[in-house]
Amino acid sequence: MKQIEGFSKLSKQEKIAWLCRTYFGDVSDAAALFERYHNTDSELQKLHDEFIENTVTNYYLPFAVAPNFLIDGKTYTVPMAIEESSVVAAASKAAKYWQGKGGFHTRVVATEKTGQVHFFFYGEKEALQAFVDRTTPIMLQQAAPITANMEKRGGGVRSLVLVDKTEALAHYYQLSATFETLDAMGANFINSCLESFAETFREEAEKEATMQGQYEIVMSILSNYVPNCVVRAEVHCPVGELKIAHLEGETAANKFVQALAIANADVYRATTHNKGIMNGVDAVVLATGNDFRAIEAGAHAYAARTGSYRSLSEAWIEDGVFHFALELPLALGTVGGLTNLHPLVKTALEILEKPTARQLMGIVASVGLAQNYSAVSSLIGLGIQKGHMKMHLNNILNQLQANEEEKKVLTAYFKDKTVTHSEVKRELERLKLTTNANN
Ligand code: MEV
């Protein structure tokens, strides 16, 4: 029976037993695997159990670091949590390369976050506007218990306005607010403020004849589209100093600029190009306990802000200097949320020497740019497969359960050969036969 009532009420052992019974014919292999991934430190395990509901075990990702990131004159060792081989190696390689050329230069353009109360209104717009003008100070005042602390620290609600969306959807309006949440990502703060605005809106509307029965509040929620919470990261060097695989100087710079032009002109390429950027971005976002889904959604919406989906980065040559820059919307936090809870997140932030949210924005954008530099360099240089498959070779060998000696022999064998799963399998079988014959 795959349907189950009250699953969440079962104990962890009961949940595992049900999973095994239902999907593994009572074979205990799955249960044993869940157990192996369990932490033996029961306090640590309890912490992870309680992050989400229905936890049955842990799902590990490698936690790595990319050293030598020179960002705004300071050297960082950047923590990255990611499963894809070659991402960390590529970030480290680009970091080292640009370290010798002045490093990454970043600028936080703005840090404003936003959220909306979405509602329908069926009366005259003028009456609604007059109502919102009258009640805005009341909405802000009623939210004071939520905003007081944030305001003390210099943040809070920055604006609250009525937005007419009736051209997009009949009778659709928003109360749209902007916020400064300092070092916090601010999701809870923003959502609490919005729900309070909606509540006051309801209370005040009930007192006015022009509003009664004329409106329907649908929802109140922050937006992950943050085009005014943006950071820029840039690297540059004289064209003559640029070297990408066998390409040098002007040839390298021109080909790089061409690759970026393609990513701006074609959605197929733009998507993959931006995916390469997000390889670096997500890994740091995840390691520092931030919400990578929010960052992903916001980044792709930003990439499409002109009406067509484009590259998030740009490259150009000016006065003999090659420039490569990335502009990204990044609503990040270095306090609150998982940053206080997950021991590895705390450690990651310590490795980054406890950055502010603004500094973290610069670090994340720099890693995204580094990742993009490495990917585009491989593509226009020797091609992606050579480097990629070398890293992948180890994964294939692990999958095929090669021992350490076999890995050594086959890594040397494939040094100058194309790596494919079937080739590796064949060579491993051949090696095993030879070894067995010799023993
Ligand atoms: C692979 O994870 C990322 C790349 O495809 C990015 C790109 O094509 O620019 C290599």
| Interval 417-435: pLDDT, tens | 888 899 999 999 999 999 8
Mean of the pLDDT values across residues 315-328?
Answer: 98
CA proximity to 277, closest of 376, 379, 369, 387: 369
Distances (CA, A) of 255 to 296, 322, 366, 382: 28, 11, 22, 13
* pLDDT of amino acid 219: 98
Best substitution site from 256, 267, 273, 395 to test ligand 1's pocket, by max atoms within 8 Å of Cβ?
273
Question: pLDDT-based confidence at 385, cuts 50/70/90?
Answer: confident
Q: Burial, 377: exposed, middle or buried (Cβ in 10 Å; 0-12, 13-18, 19+)?
A: buried
Q: What's the predicted TM-score (pTM) here? A: 0.91
* pLDDT of amino acid 268: 98
Tell me how long the chain is: 439
For residue 84, which atom of ligand 1 is closest to its CA?
A: 2
Mean of the pLDDT values across residues 413-419?
Answer: 86
**Residue 360 carries which DSSP code?**
H
CA angle, 232 as apex, 228 and 235 as ends, to 5°? 175
* pLDDT of amino acid 1: 77
Look-up: residue for tokens 């009258």? 134
Tens digits of residue pLDDT in 50-73: 999 999 999 999 999 999 999 999
Tens digits of residue pLDDT in 108-152: 999 999 999 999 999 999 999 999 999 999 999 999 999 999 999
Looking only at the bridges linking them, the beta strands covering 243-244 and 215-222 are: unpaired
Distance CA 93, CA 370 (A): 8
Tens digits of residue pLDDT in 27-48: 678 999 999 999 999 999 999 9
Residue nearest atom 3 of ligand 1, based on CA coordinates: 276
What are the catalytic residues? 84, 275, 291, 388
For residue 372, which atom of ligand 1 is closest to its CA?
A: 9
Residues 6+ apart with CB under 8 A from 83: 61, 62
Ligand 1 center to 419 CA (angstroms): 18
- The answer to whether residue 260 scores a pLDDT higher than 70 is yes
Q: How many CB atoms lie within 10 A of CB 141?
A: 10
Ligand 1 center to 375 CA (angstroms): 6
Mean of the pLDDT values across residues 73-94?
Answer: 97
For residue 376, which atom of ligand 1 is closest to its CA?
A: 9
Question: pLDDT-based confidence at 26, cuts 50/70/90?
Answer: low
Written as one letter, the residue type at 157 is V
- The answer to whether residue 386 scores a pLDDT higher than 90 is no
* Cβ proximity of 252 and 244 under 8 Å: yes
For residue 269, which atom of ligand 1 is closest to its CA?
A: 8
Ligand 1 center to 276 CA (angstroms): 4
Distances (CA, A) of 330 to 25, 32, 185, 228, 300: 46, 40, 10, 9, 11
Question: pLDDT-based confidence at 266, cuts 50/70/90?
Answer: very high
Look-up: residue for tokens 């999907």? 23
Tens digits of residue pLDDT in 142-184: 999 999 999 999 999 999 999 999 999 999 999 999 999 999 9
- The answer to whether residue 297 scores a pLDDT higher than 70 is yes
More confident residue, 385 or 124: 124
Best substitution site from 274, 279, 374 to test ligand 1's pocket, by max atoms within 8 Å of Cβ?
279
Distance CA 159, CA 177 (A): 5
* pLDDT of amino acid 203: 97
Tens digits of residue pLDDT in 273-291: 999 999 999 999 999 999 9
Considering the chain, what is the average pLDDT of its residues? 95
Residues with CB under 6 A from ligand 1: 84, 272-273, 275-276, 279, 375-376, 379, 384
Let me know how many helices (H) and strands (E) the chain has, helices first.
15, 12
Question: pLDDT-based confidence at 340, cuts 50/70/90?
Answer: confident
* Cβ proximity of 179 and 147 under 8 Å: no
Question: pLDDT-based confidence at 317, cuts 50/70/90?
Answer: very high
Ligand 1 center to 333 CA (angstroms): 27
* pLDDT of amino acid 384: 79
Question: pLDDT-based confidence at 387, cuts 50/70/90?
Answer: low
* pLDDT of amino acid 392: 81
At how many degrees (to 10) do helices 125-142 and 144-152 cross? 60
Mean of the pLDDT values across residues 319-329?
Answer: 98
Print burial letters for 349-373: b (CB count within 10 Å at least 16), e (below 16). beebeebebbbbbbbbbbbbbbbbb
SS3 content of the chain, % helix, strand, coil (to 5): 50, 20, 30
* Cβ proximity of 116 and 194 under 8 Å: yes
Written as one letter, the residue type at 209 is A
Distances (CA, A) of 78 to 10, 229, 344, 377: 40, 22, 13, 21
Tens digits of residue pLDDT in 359-372: 999 999 999 999 99
CA proximity to 129, closest of 174, 178, 67: 174
Distances (CA, A) of 239 to 245, 251, 380: 15, 9, 16
Ligand 1 center to 307 CA (angstroms): 23
Q: Burial, 257: exposed, middle or buried (Cβ in 10 Å; 0-12, 13-18, 19+)?
A: middle
* pLDDT of amino acid 58: 97
* pLDDT of amino acid 382: 85
